[in-house]
């Protein structure tokens, strides 16, 4: 670089505005330190461009960049989104939302002291689990229960406490991966139990289990395949038969139920999962399930079963590692009370699942009529299908209605991306060059917010 080039570069660098001038022109009324950091980043980027030979960006371009960086910074944290995918239990979007009663319970204990581990009757230390476990027992009919932070933890604790150093028999067709490459064999290995596979991927018979039982067998484990379905030439052994075999041979029968359905008045489309109550009636010594799937509560792993088994879990050192906090317990208690009080329509999961397709059609047509055609985008009500999601009911689809956006020049993927960048972000899906906003997973109170966001995105 010649001296003349160096002088020109330095001149362009000196033309860049000061940080405080950029901050003063940004449309941001939050903490000044945050705005200052974004202004500095925008100016640093401008300096790099200048040193690489580009002209200095004008003042407005620097302001725009600083504000864009601010938006990106804010979006890096947890933010509210509108789930318009039609996936009710959407793992990536935080599973199903909680209702006002559940949220109120969390706020009440989060903002003050509570009797989390204090026995008010005796005036001494109590158990943090006692509050929720009594309700779990009433809802499921179990003798006893314990709560950990998710269902994978529930399986891990159960195997570690009851089966470490001994054999656990499981069908090859049930060696599932539950997400994030976290697999049942991995959990079993970490627990210290020894895996004994029986049967084949598609067919396992009772005799396979009978032949595998040895003096070193601690348990038979049945895993409900809640996130996939094998069809065709298949055979599995019913839980009742496995329980009878385990009892007769003096081993424990463990049943990993996965999704945790506890209501017998679920919509017909959502009744493919085994009821927790039925699993216990069929003879499971211990059953495990999630709190944030078909139960509709917070993330938790719930373990129910015979009292002497649960006591062994309570005494295991892993329980402290896997324990849940007061906010999770408060939300779980509120969820269970809604079941006991017959108020499951106040649980958003079941409210969404039970919404009639005719009501969704009415809402979709109202939004489409409000927006009509915006520029080159055609907006219409469109019949579609929703799914349960969250590793539950893999073959179940429910009739639904969506607001369909049919872009002309801009592609569907670009429009979908623009909706994700809106405020609040809207997560939709694309089918056959249409952007579909499935209203089954959009709360009616959000219809106006959804329409306004679409209008802003489409200009």
Give the Cα separation of 357 and 340 in Å (integer): 28
Instruction: Give the pLDDT mean for 370-386.
Output: 85
Give the Cα separation of 350 and 356 in Å (integer): 12
Confidence of residue 395 (pLDDT cuts 50, 70, 90): confident
Give the Cα separation of 291 and 349 in Å (integer): 12
pTM of the model: 0.85
Give the Cα separation of 36 and 125 in Å (integer): 49
Omega within 30 of 0 (cis) for the link into 424: yes
Q: What is the pLDDT of residues 192-232, one digit of tens each?
A: 999 999 998 888 999 999 999 999 999 999 998 766 666 66
Instruction: Give the pLDDT mean for 294-308.
Output: 96
Provide the pLDDT for residue 179: 61
Q: Which helix (H) or strand (E) segment is 453 a member of?
A: helix 447-458
Rounded mean pLDDT of the chain? 90
Instruction: Give the pLDDT mean for 306-326.
Output: 95
The CATH class, in words, for 100-344 is alpha beta
Provide the pLDDT for residue 56: 86
Provide the pLDDT for residue 146: 97
Provide the pLDDT for residue 422: 83
Provide the pLDDT for residue 229: 64
- CA dist list (Å): 451 to 362, 366, 385, 442: 14, 10, 21, 12
Provide the pLDDT for residue 228: 60
Instruction: Give the pLDDT mean for 413-437.
Output: 89
> Does 369 have pLDDT greater than 70?
yes
Domain boundaries, the chain: 3-75, 82-94+351-458, 100-344
CB atoms within 10 A of CB 205: 16
Out of 26-30, 411-415, 420-424, which region has the weakest mean confidence (pLDDT)? Answer: 26-30
> Does 140 have pLDDT greater than 90?
yes
Provide the pLDDT for residue 341: 96
What are the respective helix, strand and coil percentages of the chain, to the nearest 5? 45, 20, 35
Which of the listed ranges 43-57, 136-150, 374-388 does the model predict with the highest average pLDDT? 136-150
Provide the pLDDT for residue 5: 74
Which CATH number applies to 82-94+351-458: 3.30.460.20, 3.40.50.2300, 3.10.20.520, 3.90.1150.110? 3.90.1150.110
Provide the pLDDT for residue 386: 92
For the chain, the first-to-last Cα distance in angstroms comes to 46
Measure the CA angle with vertex 97, ends 94 and 98; round to 5°: 130
DSSP state, residue 199: S
DSSP state, residue 88: E
Give the Cα separation of 75 and 194 in Å (integer): 44
Instruction: Give the pLDDT mean for 324-335.
Output: 96
Give the Cα separation of 49 and 283 in Å (integer): 70
Q: Strands, DSSP E only, in 291-369?
A: 301-305
Question: Which among 130, 140, 106 is positioned nearest to 260, based on CA atoms?
Answer: 140
Instruction: Please list the alpha-helical segments (H only) found in 293-325.
Output: 307-314, 318-321
Give the Cα separation of 206 and 428 in Å (integer): 45
Provide the pLDDT for residue 76: 72
> Does 393 have pLDDT greater than 80?
no
């Amino acid at each position: 670089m010649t001296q003349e080039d160096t002088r020109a570069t330095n001149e362009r660098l000196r033309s860049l505005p000061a940080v405080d001038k950029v901050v003063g022109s940004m449309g941001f009324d939050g903490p000044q330190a945050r705005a200052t950091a974004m202004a500095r980043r925008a100016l640093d980027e401008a300096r790099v461009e200048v040193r690489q030979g580009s002209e200095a960006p004008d003042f407005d371009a620097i302001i725009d960049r600083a504000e864009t960086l601010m938006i990106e910074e804010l979006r890096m944290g947890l933010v509210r989104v509108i789930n318009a995918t039609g996936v009710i239990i959407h793992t990536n979007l935080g599973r199903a939302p909680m209702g006002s009663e559940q949220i109120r319970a969390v706020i009440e204990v989060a903002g003050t002291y509570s009797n989390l581990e204090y026995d008010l009757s005796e005036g001494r230390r109590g158990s943090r689990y006692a509050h929720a476990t009594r309700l779990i027992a009433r809802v499921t009919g179990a003798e006893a229960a314990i709560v950990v932070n998710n269902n994978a933890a529930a399986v891990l604790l159960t195997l570690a406490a009851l089966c470490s150093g001994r054999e656990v028999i499981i069908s090859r067709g049930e060696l599932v991966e539950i997400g994030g490459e976290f697999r049942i064999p991995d959990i079993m290995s970490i627990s210290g139990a020894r895996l004994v596979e029986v049967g084949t991927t598609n067919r396992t018979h009772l005799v396979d289990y009978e032949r595998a039982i040895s003096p070193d067998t601690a348990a038979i484990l049945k895993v409900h395949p809640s996130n996939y379905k094998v069809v065709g030439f298949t055979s599995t052994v019913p839980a009742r038969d496995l329980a009878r075999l385990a009892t007769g041979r003096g081993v424990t029968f463990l049943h990993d139920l996965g999704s945790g359905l506890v209501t017998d008045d679920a919509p017909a489309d959502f009744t493919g999962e085994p009821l927790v109550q039925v699993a216990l009636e069929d003879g499971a010594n211990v059953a495990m399930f999630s709190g944030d799937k078909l139960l509709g509560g917070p993330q938790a792993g719930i373990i129910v079963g015979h009292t002497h088994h649960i006591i062994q879990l309570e005494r295991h050192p892993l329980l402290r590692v896997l324990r849940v906090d007061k906010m999770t317990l408060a939300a779980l208690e509120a969820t269970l009370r809604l079941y006991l009080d017959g108020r499951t329509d106040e649980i958003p999961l079941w409210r969404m699942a039970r919404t009639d397709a005719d009501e969704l059609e009415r809402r979709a047509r109202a939004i489409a009529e409000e927006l009509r055609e915006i520029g080159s985008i055609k907006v219409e009500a469109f019949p579609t299908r929703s799914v349960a999601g969250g590793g539950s009911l893999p073959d179940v689809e429910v009739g639904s209605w969506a607001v369909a956006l049919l872009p002309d020049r801009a592609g569907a993927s670009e429009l979908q991306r623009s909706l994700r960048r809106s405020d609040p972000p809207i997560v939709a899906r694309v089918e056959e060059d249409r952007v579909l906003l499935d209203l089954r997973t959009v709360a009616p109170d959000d219809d106006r917010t959804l329409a306004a966001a679409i209008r802003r995105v489409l200009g």
